[in-house]
Structure 1
């Protein structure tokens, strides 16, 4: 099983993981043989990457959480955003109705989903952050919110947070971008670089989200603070208040790392995704300056940039598939060579922990046809 950009998927590939629509309904079932017309339809739906099975990897990449729980979480987050957006656009139709009373059921649903996510992740021992979940352009915000919650929970578990702290962390992560509902869509989805004025408008979303959430008794103060502070940076480089160090909530510090990691490894309308390794290196390089050092330490111990089944290019030009990952050395896995100019190396196993002169240069998706 490999995660492959849709433009690199070949006709005849076998879909390795079911694709769902925004309502959680099955669009294409696992095991489907992909035809060119099907691949084009997937691309038309703005789904950038899919899992396939092929001759290069038969590894099974397990989900951190069950697909049905993920889909339920995405739907609940989307419901919160949609209902608030609808209220903002049609306030005249809601005269006399209290916004927070109207949102009460939405927030209670989010609480229920948060408990499910926590129980699911706590039930798994030594859970690690592998490849990010599939995201489509249309549902990016809601899928991103769930991914951030999952990543944040795994970091919080590594930092030995109590269950009630994990609950506040999860709620805050699921709702961290709620303030974006108040921003114009033409700015949020702008394909090009933002102007200075547009950037200032975007930077209002943490305060907008906090102001909205503080009117609800169903969202705790620590969770609300996450919405306000998830773009703050410990060196004072963040927004909206330019807070530093201990003046930033530890929950917000965790969500900041999870938010950046998932955003960097996601394809957006204005840029392609970075590899998990590039995102990890960026976060580690900024530990102690932008991101809390202890949070980065915990994160670096639970993230796997190249999970089993990932195809990679080595610094010597060989192409290989990851066969075994070591949590203490995530950048030095065992790999099986699937392409090499030295034909005798094909299918041989290389232990990168013992090969100091060879490093992973990045992800690879296609093997030369003459191989």
Structure 2
């Protein structure tokens, strides 16, 4: 199977992976024949990518957590966030009125405890997985982006945390903080969050308030650790001190927040947004690597580079010499130089041959290919 843009899918192709709706129910099950009508329906609900079965890739792409658990987690986070937003609205958007209402605070803590339970289940599931390599570029719905993003950032953060040898207690705080890192966006105008274009200076200033708003909102909650709260407050700080809200730098930034910062940017870059199309995973990977010491902590990025898979097995790629190949194997030490099998070349005798790019430095991958038939 391989993941390709919906506009590149031909009619009468078979779906390789079940697609779920915004409520976590199967919308189309794997194995269904994709007709023109079905493809148009998927486009109409802003499904941008799907997994297909084709002759180039027979490998099954395994998720680091079970798809059912991922959908369950997304739905639980969605419900909790919406309930928290309704609670805040019931206090007439007045934070002081909310903070002085014991009844509302108890309800809030109930919703936070539900998020804590999701975090524990995600963490336990990841800890039981032997293969800790992550491919987060998946089927994403624009409508459910916020909640999918929270779960993806949590998954990648935990895997980075494991690579950095964090204790389980730290990993749990990391998971909770990652899930809640954007909770402050509940208090940002939807017209700004969903704007189809560049933000004005005034709108950008309002958007930059979401870490402080989220931290302030949960600062009195006894259900969340101080470290998880720091993730919410500091995930947009930069290693060079040019981030926000407090322009902290280097190890003045909470360690867990430094991890979530990398995971947050990577998943954002590889997701379609109202104002831009998603970057392919290799470009997003190179962006992260290229911003070590400016945006990101070197130690976090070094671990990130060993657990993320910019070219998952089964990806079709174009090489610098024009040949088309399929990725056969990946190596954590050389994430941008996998083993590939040539499937299309002007030199026909090369087709079918295997090349380990780690040992062949004269070739590089130029880009991901989607429309080879």
The bucket for the TM-score relative to the shorter chain is over 0.9
**Which stretches in structure 1 are left out of the alignment for 5+ residues?**
none
1:106 maps to which of 111, 114, 118: 111
Aligned counterparts of 2:118 and 2:87: Cα–Cα separation in 1: 23
Number of the residue aligned with 1:243: 248
3-state secondary structure, aligned to 2:358 = helix
Tell me which residue corresponds to 1:74.
Answer: 74
State the SS of the aligned residue for 2:4: strand
Q: Which residue of 2 aligns with 1:36?
A: 36
Q: State how 1:1-371 maps to structure 2 within 5 Å.
A: 1-91=1-91, 98-367=103-372
SS in 1 for 2:355: strand
The alpha-carbon deviation at position 129 of structure 1 amounts to 1.4
How far is the alpha carbon of 1:320 from its aligned partner?
A: 1.0
Does the CA-based 8 Å contact 2:214-2:232 persist in structure 1? yes
Aligned partners of 2:3 and 2:138 also within 8 Å: no
**Alpha-carbon distance in structure 2 between the residues aligned to 1:144 and 1:134:** 12
Aligned-CA RMSD value: 1.6
- The answer for unaligned runs of 5 or more in structure 2 is none
Q: Work out the CA distance in 1 between the residues paired with 2:136 and 2:329.
A: 15
Change (3 A) 1:312 1:45: same
* CA distance, structure 2, for counterparts of residue 192 and residue 18 of structure 1: 32
CA distance in 2, matches of 1:209, 1:277: 32
Q: SS at the partner of 1:322?
A: strand
- When normalised by structure 1's length, the TM-score is 0.96
How far has the Cα of 1:191 moved from its partner?
0.8
2:286, 2:313 → 1: CA distance? 19
Describe the superposition over 1:197-225 as per-residue Cα deviations: whole angstroms up to 9, x where unpaired. Answer: 00000000000000111121111111011
Measure, in 2, the Cα distance between the counterparts of 1:338 and 1:34: 25
Q: 1:212, 1:135 → 2: CA distance?
A: 28
Q: SS of the residue aligned with 2:165?
A: coil
Please report the TM-score for the alignment, with normalisation by the length of structure 2: 0.95
CA contact (8 A) 1:100 1:215 kept: no
Other structure's SS at 1:361 match = strand
